[in-house]
Structure formats: structure tokens, C-alpha cells
Structure 1
Amino acid sequence: MKDYYKIGEISNLYGIGVDSLRYYERIGVLKPRRGENGYRMYNLKDIYKLNIIRDLRQLNFSMEQIKNYLAHQSIDNTLALLQEEIEWIQGQLKKLRSTEQIIQSRLNALLTARNSTTGIFTVKAFPDRMCLRLNTNITRDEEIDFAIKKLHHKHENKIYDIGNQSIGAALSIDDLNKGITGVFRYVFFILKEKTKEYDFILPAGQYLSFLYKGSYNQSADRIKETLSYIEENGYHILDDPFELYQIHNHDTMLKEEFLTEIQVRISE
């Protein structure tokens, strides 16, 4: 085994770019000597340090941490370094488990939605549902998506994953009484858990539900069908009707796969 290696040999041996090796020298982590021709010459001690640098970099330690460790290497510092890494790994595992739960929740919701029966009216009971909303006037499909993005931007510290949220848009009961069915007055997110950070509530109660599949172009007709069903069956509308987008353009670009649920809180 040679006593000294040139920078190119070290670079090839460890898969470390020569710029990185020069950087390690610049910050004082490595101190190669210069040969007669001016080439950097790395000895076995430098190689030992490179082993440590490589291992600690793989464990996500910063070069500042590594430099400090190499300068004060002891069993106590090694134990402290490993404990710090364990804590970092535990934090990453916690984040991964949380992400896994979010993805699993969305997967289950999509599977349930895809297998839902459409075209029938049902009455569902719901508790209070806390929501975040954005008031706006919407007459076209693309305006709903833009409004939802604005709402998400407004609350991005609370809503991290827009694809995993229950998203809706509501009509005005006053508009419906005037025969206006094509204008949505606000969009909203239904929050997953009870929280104080909401700005309106979908009240607990009985909701008439109607699921339809396909393009949003049929929205006005489906809402009219729902209102006619309410009137024909002796129900009374208590609040603004709304649509929930169970499968939407965050899930598929095929409009025939879109799944929308109309809900209206009612009383007999």
C-alpha cells in the first residue's frame, strides 16, 4: 500500500469530486502535503479522515459538524454524535409515518369514491364540519380551480396537501330562490380534524346527497334535479347547497372519471 495518493486517485477511489476535496482542504478538514511538482499528496491519515467524512455525510451531518468532530474526536463526542443522529432519524421516521398516513387516507378515499353508486338520492347524517372558505363568484369550471388554489395559498400553513382535502364549492340559497343555479359563491376545504382554526361550519344535521359522474358541465342540471327531489319529497332547504369534488383534476384528467357529490342540509 502506498504512503501517498494524488488527488485524482483519491477522487476515483472514493467517488468524491476534486472540487469537494479542495473544499475539504480549504475549510481545514484535510491537510494534504505538496509534492515536489506541486501536486497535492494525501497520506493514510487523510484517507482515514475521508472514511469518516463519507460515513457522516451519508448520515446527513453537515461539514461544520464533521469538522468539529474531527477536531475533538473522543468516545464522548462519538457517543454524542451518534445520539444526535438517532434523534434525527427518529424525526425523519415520524415525518415518513405521517406522510404514509396521508397517502393511505387518500388511497382509501379514492378507492371508496371510485366504487360509489351514482345517480341516486340518499340522506346522510353529519356532525359539525369545520371549514376554511374563500368568498368569490364563479361561473366557469376553471374559475373553481383557480379559487381553490387561492384558498390554499391563503391557508398553506394549515393545508399542506391540497390533494388530500375535501374540496367544495357552494351556491347561494338566495340565488336558487331567484332561479339562479349557475353561480357558485364560495369555495371551501373541510378540515380533517376539529380545530379552532376555521372560519365557518357546515352545521350538523341531515343532508340530502346526490353523486354524479363526469364533466362539471352537467352541474346546473344535477342541482336542479336535486332541488326538484327536495320539493317533491316534502323536504325543506336549510342552508346553501354545495358540491364536493371527490374525484377531480388533481386525481385524473379524464372528465368521465370525475365524481361530484351534491349536498344540501334539509329538514322534513
Structure 2
Amino acid sequence: MKNLYQIQEICRLYHIGADSLRYYEKIGLIQPQRSEGNYRLYSLSDIWRLNVIRDLLKLGFSTRQIKTYLDARSVATTRSLLDEKEAILRQRIEEMKKDLQDVQNRRQSLEEALSEPMNQVCLRTFEKRRCLLLKENIEHDEDIDFLLTKLSGRLEEQLSILGNVDTGSMLELQPDGSVRCTSVFICTEDESYDFTLEAGDYLTLTYSGRYDTHHEHLRLLQETIENQHLKPAGNFLEFLLIDIHETQRYEEYVTQLQVRVVPA
């Protein structure tokens, strides 16, 4: 086995650039020897230190923290470092478990959306739902993503790049038959919330295709309310179960309208 290695060999071994090795040398993490031609030569001791640097960088330690450890290694500092590494790894495991659960929940929501009966008015019972609200005038459907981004500062963990799960909007049917979206909200299990969607019986209507046809489906909901001698007990709600976040095909969009009803 060789005792000294040139910079190109170390770069290939660690898949890093020569600039990184020069930076490590500059801040004192490694001290390669020099050949007669002034080329850097890395010893087995340098390789050991590079292994430590690589592993600690992966765990999020700064180069300053790594240098402090390498310059004052002892049983006590190694034990302390191992304790810190264990804590970091345990935290990452918990984060990965949550990420896995989020992916599984999203897949389940997607499958449930695809199995919804389309173009049928159904009566369903919902438990009380907590919501965060952002009330603003919304002129375009694309505005919803912008508003959800503003909400993310309050509840970042519950907004998914794989789809706006459990997010909805409140709709108002205008006298001329058009529909106006007055606000967007996100359902949350957090203790901090703005309002609740009350528990009770809801008429729902799920349809596929472009969601800008909601005025037609809202009229069907209204007709059903009248025919069944019911009356609305809240706003009309729109949930985009499948939209631009999951597909670029309009025909694959799935939207669900909801409204809580009581006997007239």
C-alpha cells in the first residue's frame, strides 16, 4: 500500500474537487506534505482526517466544529461527539419517518380521490375541522398557490409539494351565475387555528375535468338542496383533490364541492 497520494488520486477517491482540498488545507483541517516539485502529497493520516471530515459534514457539522474536534481529540471529546452524532441521527430518523408517513398519506388521498363517485350528489357526515384562513380577493385560480405560500409561514409542515392536501376555498355564487372565490384555507390538526368547519351533514359533489366549471356543479347542488327540502348552513366549499400539482392533464383533475345542510 502506498503511503503518499497525489491530489488527483484523493479527488477521485473522495469525489471532491481540488479546490475543496486546498480549502481544507487553508483552514488547517489537513496538512499535506510537499514533493520536491512542490506537489501536494497526502499521507494515510490525511486520509483518516478526510474520512472524519466527510462523515461530520454529512451530519451537518461546520468546518470550524470539525477543526476544533480534530485539534483536541480525547476520549471525552470523542464521547461528546458521538453523543451529538447519535442525537442528530435520531432526529433524522424521526424526520424520515414523518416524511414517509406524509408520502403514504398523500398516496392514500390520491387513491381515495380517484375512487370518488363522479357527478353524484352524496350526503356525508364530517367531524369538526380546524382551519387556517387567508381571506383575500381571488381573481384567478393560480392565485391560490400564492396564498397557500403565504399560509406556509404559519404551518409549513402541512403544505406538501406533492399536492395541496386538505386545502380548500370558499365560494360565493353571484346573481349573474358566476362564482367568486372569497378565501382559501388549510385544514389542520394544530392547536393554532382561525375557524372551524362545523361537524354535521354535508352535501358533496365530486367531478373530474377543469375546475373552472364549478358554477355548473354548484347549481346542481342548489337544486338538490331545494328538492330535498334542505337549506345551506354555511359557505359552499371547494377542495381540489387532484390538480396541477399531480397532473398536467385537465381531464384528470378531480374537484369536490361541499356544503353543510340542515332541514329547511
Which TM-score band (shorter chain)? 0.7 to 0.9
Aligned partner of 1:18 in structure 2 is: 18
**What is the letter of the counterpart of residue 220 of structure 2?**
E
Contact 2:144 2:184 in 1 (8 A): no
- Structure 1 residue 260 corresponds to structure 2 residue 255: yes
State the number of aligned residues: 260
Q: Following the alignment from structure 1 to structure 2, what is the Cα–Cα distance between the partners of residues 167 and 124?
A: 18
Q: Which 10-residue stretch deviates more, 33-42 or 92-101?
A: 33-42
**What is the letter of the counterpart of residue 122 of structure 1?**
C
Q: Partner of 1:29: helix, strand, or coil?
A: coil
Shift of 1:63: 2.0
Deviant stretches of 4+, over 6 Å: none
Aligned partner of 1:184 in structure 2 is: 180
- 1:162-199: CA deviation from partner (whole Å, max 9, x where unpaired): 42422222223xx55xx34322242323323152x222
**Cα 1:130–1:13 shift into 2, 3 Å:** closer
Q: Following the alignment from structure 1 to structure 2, what is the Cα–Cα distance between the partners of residues 190 and 15?
A: 44
Identity of aligned residues (%): 35
Contact 1:148 1:188 in 2 (8 A): no
Contact 1:124 1:208 in 2 (8 A): yes
Q: Partner of 2:29: helix, strand, or coil?
A: coil
- Structure 1 residue 248 corresponds to structure 2 residue 250: no
The 5 Å alignment of 1:217-232 reads 217-232=212-227
The 5 Å alignment of 1:150-161 reads 150-160=147-157, 161=159
Q: Following the alignment from structure 2 to structure 1, what is the Cα–Cα distance between the partners of residues 19 and 225?
A: 73
The 5 Å alignment of 1:64-79 reads 64-79=64-79
- Structure 1 residue 146 corresponds to structure 2 residue 128: no
Shift of 1:126: 1.8
Q: Which 10-residue stretch deviates more, 75-84 or 47-56?
A: 47-56
Contact 2:138 2:183 in 1 (8 A): no
Aligned partner of 2:127 in structure 1 is: 127
Contact 1:128 1:201 in 2 (8 A): yes
TM-score w.r.t. the length of structure 1 is 0.84
**Cα 1:193–1:51 shift into 2, 3 Å:** closer
Q: Partner of 2:130: helix, strand, or coil?
A: strand
Q: Following the alignment from structure 1 to structure 2, what is the Cα–Cα distance between the partners of residues 214 and 239?
A: 26
**What is the letter of the counterpart of residue 184 of structure 1?**
R
Q: Which 10-residue stretch deviates more, 219-228 or 38-47?
A: 38-47
**What is the letter of the counterpart of residue 117 of structure 2?**
T
- Structure 1 residue 98 corresponds to structure 2 residue 98: yes
Given candidates 190, 212, 231, the residue that maps to 2:207 is 212
Aligned partner of 1:89 in structure 2 is: 89
Shift of 1:13: 4.8
Q: Partner of 1:144: helix, strand, or coil?
A: coil
Q: Partner of 1:96: helix, strand, or coil?
A: helix
Shift of 1:231: 0.6
Q: Partner of 2:214: helix, strand, or coil?
A: helix
Bigger radius of gyration: 1
Q: Following the alignment from structure 1 to structure 2, what is the Cα–Cα distance between the partners of residues 11 and 241?
A: 61
RMSD of aligned Cα (Å): 2.5
Contact 1:119 1:210 in 2 (8 A): yes
Given candidates 171, 174, 189, the residue that maps to 1:193 is 189
Name stretches of at least 5 consecutive residues in structure 1 with no aligned partner: none
Shift of 1:22: 1.8
Contact 1:144 1:187 in 2 (8 A): no
